[in-house]
């Protein structure tokens, strides 16, 4: 099954996971690329996206698996046709075959940007790094079964905080499958444990994905 | 630093409604644009994006050189609150720029309960609500849609109305504005010229005078304004603009599918139906054109669902031919074709079978509107009990096991016998199922819904009284107490909304302050249960000293001057009077195919005759 690596940026970050699937199904149609359909009562075009992205989060490393009814198109042609049929903010970077099994995905790199309108507080970066070197940092996580508590520390492989212009950039490598850490929870931890460092605005970007050996996953 | 709007977006529900950027949206270079139009739909994105009329006019305006039309929708409550807290004025989706910077602000209004949204949107945009307070050409507010056929409740706020079908008139209006802006006209001068465009109604050019009893005494045209303004129509639908490159929303909307309009107008003449009369005369599109447009739309949008839209699809003569062409295409391309508004005839039954290949069987839907033949004759709804039961029998023996039946309560001349007639009809449907069903184990579901009759302008019932709210509820309860079977699910519409709808449908200019006050009280998104609060409106009526009963239970005299008398939708008042008389005599008027009943709409046609 061919796979597309794509990015989701700009206002497209507000397209939900389900809506994005439908968006791709339509884009394939517009691009004249016929998708195969699932069998059964209500045949659906076969596309699937690995690791649902939370609303509002940017990403440069999304994966889409799909299946075409014909193999008359080269991978580059598929990419170009799709890009001509996609909305701004969703862009296919490459299309290839022989992608690895999604279940081998293990980690991802993310950057949480925290903006401080009145300037970054003194020693904020150090305090945050210290916070995430504790053994327990427990935050609330909203899931299907209501709100649960989660200790984020065991799911962080590495974490650094750098100071930028009026903002801090928290870069981390975290678990992304069994268990999964939603990177926005790192921000939530800051808000909870270091309320004086709570930023005025926070946003998040998924940068790269890795397998268990921390080699880039494709 | 992330700007304010971008900070708000992650905090609201369904932020994709506010960002634009969908497939098919039109973007232009600001330098190339002379006239910018903010096209506002006075409800949420999900509703507005499902509206075919808006799609058409968006394309019409953007096809004009030098004109850029952008979309604006009413924000949901959480977004409105965030906007107000952050002093963020309402913006248009394409450019993300504030509506107050636009030259023209257009509204399309399909239902009365959107009036609060219109005012609220202007207020969110930071544009003065009153037409009189907007001095220059900038922010010229105009409106169209079915509600423009009685625009008086909005007369204080809207500079002018565009009546009827917008394909041609909108181009004329925007072109005139283009010229006015280039030549630096005053607003007054522009409105004066605009009023010369057939179909443009400028409320400030008319004085409404009242009698002591509150009824209208006279409508006086000022400075040579036309006595009557006649709505516009498109004669040849085949050559009319149709948006085959529709915007494809990136998020879920109410009707997420392409739309094919097969004809306009209606041959039936149900006496309560505003669309049926005000959309006349009848004009059709040819199956070839429809088929071409369907294929173009599907290819350009990537949609996998298409629906036929019209008031009564079975009455489209080209339906068999169109279906012969479309069904194979849809099958091959895995496109879901839905054909609503079918009548209970043989062809439709077969078609329904064909559309149901695979998949679940949807439910059968009937709108008899009244429970007895007598009352159905009064309202000229020609659907007989025999037709309903035969269709049900066929469907039940074909495996269907769900029926929806829609009625109205409070129709003219209705008695308790008519109300109970509904229960009787429902029992006959159940009886038919017992006799015909192939699979009784799955059980039968009969969904019955009753609506509270709202008399509408430009219909034979435009003078009728609405029954009181208490009486409506009594009839609902009476009916309910006669439903014994577990198979029946009975819903009756909450009466408050229909009462308000009745007030505004036949309202006059004295309602302007009421709308304004209600919005001040916090009324908005009245079409949504989450927001509708009748109390806010009742307060507003009280504050403004306006009596709702005057517009509802009072009824209008046949010789009374009506607020919408200035507006000519084609069908003549004389014909409406005659139809009303026939209603009271229990006489039906056969549909137009049995002979033209002389409704008067034909005089709007110059090149062809009414294609009923
Ligand atoms: S002009 Fe005659 S045929 Fe046409 S809609 Fe009116 S009554 Fe029907």
Strands B336-338 and B305-309 come out as: parallel
Q: Does pLDDT of B250 surpass 80?
A: yes
pLDDT tens, B347-394?
Answer: 777 777 777 654 455 678 888 999 999 999 999 998 899 988 988 888
Sequence-ordered strand ranges (E) for B519-569: 567-568
Alpha helices, DSSP H only, in B27-114?
A: 45-48, 52-62, 77-85
All domains in chain A, ordered by first residue: 3-99 (3.30.70.580), 104-211 (3.30.70)
Q: Which residues of B144-172 are buried (b: 16+ CB within 10 A; e: fewer)?
A: bbbbbbbbbbbbbbbbbbbbbbbbbbbbb
In whole angstroms, what is the distance from residue B117 CA to residue B96 CA?
20
What share of chain B has pLDDT > 90, as a percent?
A: 85
Q: Where in chain B is the domain with CATH 3.40.50.280?
A: 4-230
pLDDT digits 0-9 by tens, B467-514:
999 999 999 999 999 998 889 999 998 899 999 999 999 999 999 999
Could you give the CA distance from residue B406 to residue B490 in angstroms, rounded to a whole number?
10
What residues of A are in contact with residue B16 (Cβ under 8 Å)?
11, 14-16, 19
Asked if A203 is an interface residue toward chain B (Cβ–Cβ < 8 A), one would say yes
Is-contact B585 B381, C-beta < 8 A? Answer: no
Could you tell me which residue, B342 or B229, shows the higher pLDDT? B229
pLDDT score at B362: 64
Let me know: does A35 contact A74? Beta carbons within 8 Å.
Answer: no
Measure the CA–CA gap between A164 and A182, rounded to whole angstroms. Answer: 23
Backbone angles phi, psi at A129, to 5 degrees: -60, -40
Closest CA to A128 of A190, A55, A201: A190
Structural tokens at position A38: 């699932």
Q: Which residue of A has its CA nearest to B256?
A: A22
| Nearest residue (CA) to ligand 1, atom 8 | B592
Which fold does the domain B4-230 belong to in CATH? Rossmann fold (3.40.50)
* Nearest partner of A56 among B315, B16, B369, judged by Cα: B16
Helix (H) or strand (E) holding B332: helix B319-332
The band of B346, judged by pLDDT with boundaries at 50, 70 and 90, is low
Task: Tell me the per-residue pLDDT of B256-301, one tens digit each, with 9 for 90 and over.
Answer: 889 899 999 999 999 999 999 999 999 999 999 999 999 999 999 9
pLDDT at residue A172 in the model: 97
Separation of alpha carbons A34 and A87, rounded Å? 19
CA A1 / ligand 1 centre spacing (Å): 59
Contact between B37 and B143 (Cβ < 8 Å): no
Instruction: Collect contacts of A70-73 with beta carbons under 8 A, ≥24 apart.
Output: A70/A34, A73/A33
Query: Is pLDDT of B212 > 90?
Result: yes
**Cβ B515 vs Cβ B117: under 8 Å:** no
The average pLDDT across B460-468 equals: 98
Taking the C-alpha atoms of residue B598 and residue B577, their distance in angstroms, rounded to an integer, is 13
Determine contact, residues B17/B46, Cβ cutoff 8 Å: yes
DSSP characters for B66-83? Answer: TEEEEEEEPPPHHHHHHH
Nearby residues of B1 by Cβ (< 8 Å), 6 or more positions away: A115, A117, A166, A167, A201
Length of chain A: 218
Chain B, nearest residue to A9 by Cα: B21
pLDDT value, residue B358: 46
B301: contact with A, CB 8 A cutoff: yes
Q: What are phi and psi of A3, to 5 degrees?
A: -130, 145
B303 CB within 8 Å of a chain A CB? yes
Q: What value, to the nearest 5°, has the Cα angle with vertex B205 and ends B202 and B209?
A: 120
pLDDT in tens, chain A (218 residues): 899 999 999 999 999 999 999 999 999 999 999 999 888 777 788 899 999 999 999 999 999 999 999 989 999 999 999 999 999 999 999 999 989 999 999 999 999 999 999 999 999 999 999 999 999 999 998 877 889 999 999 999 999 999 999 999 999 999 999 889 999 999 999 999 999 999 999 999 999 999 999 999 99
Q: Does B296 touch chain A (CB under 8 A)?
A: no
**Mean pLDDT for chain B?**
94
Element (H, E) at B330: helix B319-332
Looking at chain A from residue 92 to 151, which residues have their Cβ under 8 Å from any Cβ of chain B? 115, 117
Query: Residue A46: its pLDDT value, please?
Result: 86
Return residue ranges of chain B for CATH 3.30.750.210.
Answer: 235-359+580-612
Note whether A171 and A122 are within 8 A (CB).
Answer: no
Among partner residues B1, B250, B303, which is closest to A87 by beta-carbon distance?
B250
For residues B240-245, give the mean pLDDT: 94
Residue B141 has pLDDT above 80, yes or no: yes
DSSP 3-state assignment of B544? helix
Does B547 score more than 50 pLDDT?
yes
Token pair listed for B114 = 């959107």
Closest-CA residue of chain B to A166: B1
Residue B120 pLDDT more than 90? Answer: yes
Chain A CB contacts of B303 below 8 Å: 26, 29
Q: Measured over all CA atoms, what is the biggest interatomic distance in chain A, rounded to whole angstroms?
A: 61
Tens digits of residue pLDDT in B60-82: 999 999 999 999 999 999 999 99
Nearest CA to ligand 1 atom 5: B281
- The candidate with the shortest Cα–Cα distance to B108, out of B49, B28, B156, is B49
- CATH architecture of the domain formed by B235-359+580-612: 2-Layer Sandwich (3.30)
Distance of CA B553 to the CA centre of its chain: 24
pLDDT digits (tens, 9 = 90+) for A83-104: 999 999 999 999 999 899 999 9
B589, with CB counted inside 10 A (0-12, 13-18, 19+), is buried
Nearest CA to ligand 1 atom 3: B596
Residues in the ligand 1 pocket, defined by CB under 6 Å = B 267, 280-282, 592, 596-599, 601-602, 610, 612
**How would you classify the pairing of strands B104-108 and B35-41?**
parallel
Q: Do A14 and B9 touch (CB under 8 A)?
A: yes
Top residue of B16, B332, B361 to mutate, by most chain A CBs within 10 Å, is B16
Evaluate if pTM is beyond 0.80. yes
Q: Do B10 and A41 touch (CB under 8 A)?
A: no
Helical spans, DSSP H, in A31-183: 75-85, 124-131
DSSP state of B91: B
Q: Is B442 exposed, middle or buried (0-12, 13-18, 19+ CB in 10 A)?
A: exposed
pLDDT at B234 over 60: yes
* B23 interaction partners in chain A (CB closer than 8 Å): 23, 26-27, 30, 85-87
- ipTM of the shown complex: 0.94
With an 8 Å Cβ cutoff, are B334 and A23 in contact?
Answer: no
The whole-angstrom distance between A212's CA and the closest CA on chain B is: 32
């Amino acid at each position: 099954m061919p796979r597309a690596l794509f990015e989701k940026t700009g206002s497209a970050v507000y397209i939900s996971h389900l809506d994005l699937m439908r968006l791709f199904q339509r884009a394939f149609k517009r691009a004249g690329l016929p998708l195969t359909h699932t069998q059964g009562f209500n045949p659906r075009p076969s596309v699937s996206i690995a690791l649902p992205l939370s609303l509002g989060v940017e990403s440069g490393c999304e994966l889409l698996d799909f299946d075409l009814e014909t193999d008359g198109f080269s991978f580059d042609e598929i990419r170009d046709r799709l890009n001509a049929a996609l909305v701004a903010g969703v862009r296919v970077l490459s299309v290839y075959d022989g992608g690895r099994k999604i279940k081998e995905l293990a980690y991802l790199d993310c950057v949480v940007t925290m903006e401080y309108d009145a300037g970054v507080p003194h020693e904020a970066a150090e305090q945050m790094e210290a916070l995430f070197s504790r053994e327990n940092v427990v935050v609330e996580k909203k899931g299907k079964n209501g709100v649960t508590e989660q200790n984020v520390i065991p799911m962080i492989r590495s974490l650094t905080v750098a100071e930028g212009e009026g903002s801090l950039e928290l870069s981390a490598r975290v678990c992304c499958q069994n268990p999964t850490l939603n990177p926005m929870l790192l921000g939530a931890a800051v808000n909870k444990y270091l309320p004086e460092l709570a930023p005025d605005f926070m946003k998040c970007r998924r940068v790269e994905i890795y397998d268990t050996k921390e080699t880039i996953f494709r | 630093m992330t700007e304010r709007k971008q900070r708000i977006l992650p905090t609201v529900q369904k932020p994709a409604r506010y960002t634009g950027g969908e497939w098919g949206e039109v973007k232009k270079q600001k330098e190339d644009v002379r006239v910018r139009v903010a096209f506002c739909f006075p409800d949420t994105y999900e509703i507005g994006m499902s509206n075919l009329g808006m799609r058409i006019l968006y394309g019409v305006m953007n096809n004009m050189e030098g004109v850029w039309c952008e979309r604006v929708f009413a924000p949901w409550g959480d977004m409105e609150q965030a906007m107000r807290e952050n002093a963020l004025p309402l913006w248009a989706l394409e450019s993300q720029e504030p509506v107050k910077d636009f030259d023209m602000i257009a509204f399309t209004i399909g239902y009365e309960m959107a009036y609060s949204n219109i005012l609220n949107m202007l207020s969110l945009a930071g544009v003065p609500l009153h037409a009189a307070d907007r001095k220059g050409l900038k922010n010229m507010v105009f409106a169209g849609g079915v509600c423009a056929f009685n625009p008086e409740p909005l007369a204080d706020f809207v500079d002018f109305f565009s009546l009827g079908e917008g394909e041609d008139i909108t181009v004329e209006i925007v072109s005139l504005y283009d010229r006015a802006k280039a030549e630096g006209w005053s607003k007054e001068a522009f409105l004066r010229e605009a009023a010369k465009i057939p179909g443009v109604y400028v409320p400030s050019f008319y004085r409404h005078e009242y009698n002591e009893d509150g009824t209208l005494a006279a409508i006086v045209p000022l400075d040579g304004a036309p006595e009557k303004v006649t709505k516009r129509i498109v004669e040849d639908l085949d050559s009319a603009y149709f948006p085959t490159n529709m915007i494809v929303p990136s998020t879920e909307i109410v009707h997420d599918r392409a739309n094919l309009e097969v004809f306009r107008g209606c041959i039936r003449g149900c006496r309560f139906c505003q669309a049926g009369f005000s959309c006349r005369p009848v004009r059709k599109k040819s199956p070839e054109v429809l088929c071409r447009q369907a294929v173009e739309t599907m290819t350009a949008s990537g949609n996998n669902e298409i629906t036929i839209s019209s008031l009564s699809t079975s009455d489209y003569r080209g339906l068999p031919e169109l279906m012969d062409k479309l069904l194979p295409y849809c099958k091959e391309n895995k496109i879901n074709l839905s054909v609503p508004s079918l009548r209970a005839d043989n062809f439709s039954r077969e078609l329904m079978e064909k559309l149901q290949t695979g998949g679940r069987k949807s439910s059968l839907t009937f709108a008899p509107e009244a429970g007895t033949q007598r009352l159905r004759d009064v309202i000229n709804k020609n659907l007989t009990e025999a037709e309903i039961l035969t269709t049900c029998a066929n469907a039940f023996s074909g495996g269907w096991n769900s029926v929806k039946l829609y009625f109205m309560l409070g129709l003219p001349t209705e008695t308790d016998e008519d109300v109970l007639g509904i229960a009787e009809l429902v029992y006959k449907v159940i009886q038919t199922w017992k006799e015909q069903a192939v699979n009784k184990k799955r059980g039968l579901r009969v969904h019955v819904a009753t609506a509270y009759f709202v008399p509408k302008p430009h219909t034979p019932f435009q003078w009728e009284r609405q029954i009181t709210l208490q009486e409506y509820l009594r009839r609902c309860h009476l009916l309910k107490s006669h439903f014994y079977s577990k198979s029946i699910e009975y819903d009756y519409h909450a009466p408050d909304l229909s009462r308000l709808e009745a007030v505004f449908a036949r309202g006059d200019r004295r309602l302007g302050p009421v709308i304004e006050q209600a919005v001040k009280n916090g009324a908005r998104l009245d079409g949504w249960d989450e927001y509708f609060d009748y109390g806010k409106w009742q307060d507003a009526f009280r504050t403004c000293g306006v009596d709702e009963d005057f517009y509802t239970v009072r009824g209008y005299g046949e010789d009374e001057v009506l607020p919408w008398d200035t507006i000519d939708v084609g069908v003549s008042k004389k014909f409406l009077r005659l139809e009303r008389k026939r209603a009271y005599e229990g006489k039906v008027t056969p549909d137009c195919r049995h002979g033209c009943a002389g409704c008067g709409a034909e005089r709007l046609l110059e090149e062809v005759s009414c294609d009923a």
